[in-house]
Amino acid sequence: MVALWMLVASVFFALMGASIKLASAKVGFFDIIFYRSFVNVLIVAALIKIKRLGFRTRHLGLHMKRAAIGNAAMYCGFYSLIHLPIATATTLGYTNPIFQSVITFITAKGQLTGKLLFSVLLGFVGILVLLRPDMPHGEYAATLIGLLSGLLTALAYFNVGKLVRTGEPELRVVFYFSLVGTLVGLVMAGAIGFAALDAVTLLNVCAIGVFGSLGQITMTRAYGSGNPVIVSILSYSTIIFSTLLGYLIFDEKQSYIAAVGMALIILSGGLAILRRAPAKVRRPAAAAQD
């Protein structure tokens, strides 16, 4: 059942990515940010009320720091999704376990084991393969921004861990993250001017928020009821579903070189997760993009 919950979450996240790409043809970048965050904040606020958790917090500063990093990661991820094939952008977002290993080593002064070094180096080889010399300049820039999304997501997880250790409920963490995203999207899209929505585009922007929220909820259920290491590895199935949707909806075909790079990153992420198996793996329910 745990595997099923994570696979369902992966489908929702892949559908969110496809919805972002579809909506980007008609609405602006900050419109997407606003609708994604606004729908999410409504759903999370309703869940907080149902569970009677309350909205007050004694750690507002830490919430704002986490929200700033998390939203920056989300913006980079969305930019990458809009300008790259879905599978490539999704893979770049999933480099965060590689960066988490590096951050853990630096902050905890951990031992540089052979397994750690191998997993990190393998991941960066995969990244270099994706950054192939023949890549168009526009895609090159979007790839670097997608990679930045992976780094910022790792930093967001680090701050989520701090909040969870203070006793903050995850739903409250997600609420403040989405609230900040809503306000930033509202101000920026309002200054530029919201794009007019026809029926199909309205459905797409609502789907972004709904699929993202459903992905969070089902992923939280998976992490709450099963082995976090297995669930973390299964989360990479999002790349498979994204590849399938990219082919079916956008006729996106991956080159052999790109496929090798993606495979190396997936393998590296899996090894990084397994390396942390003895410790409790942080649940990314409140992470940047989801």
- Which among 64, 113, 126, 68 is positioned nearest to 265, based on CA atoms? 126
Token representation of residue 286: 């409140």
Structure confidence at residue 42 (pLDDT): 95
Alpha helices in 95-198 (DSSP H): 96-108, 114-130, 137-165, 170-192
Token representation of residue 239: 């790349």
d(CA 219, CA 236): 12
Taken as a whole, the chain contains a residue count of 290
Q: Are 216 and 3 in contact (CB under 8 A)?
A: no
d(CA 9, CA 222): 9
Structure confidence at residue 225 (pLDDT): 66
Structure confidence at residue 288 (pLDDT): 45
pTM of the prediction? 0.86
Q: Worst-scoring range by mean pLDDT, 192-201, 221-230, 252-261? A: 221-230
**132-163 pLDDT per residue, tens:** 755 666 688 898 999 999 999 888 877 777 78
pLDDT at 224 over 80: no
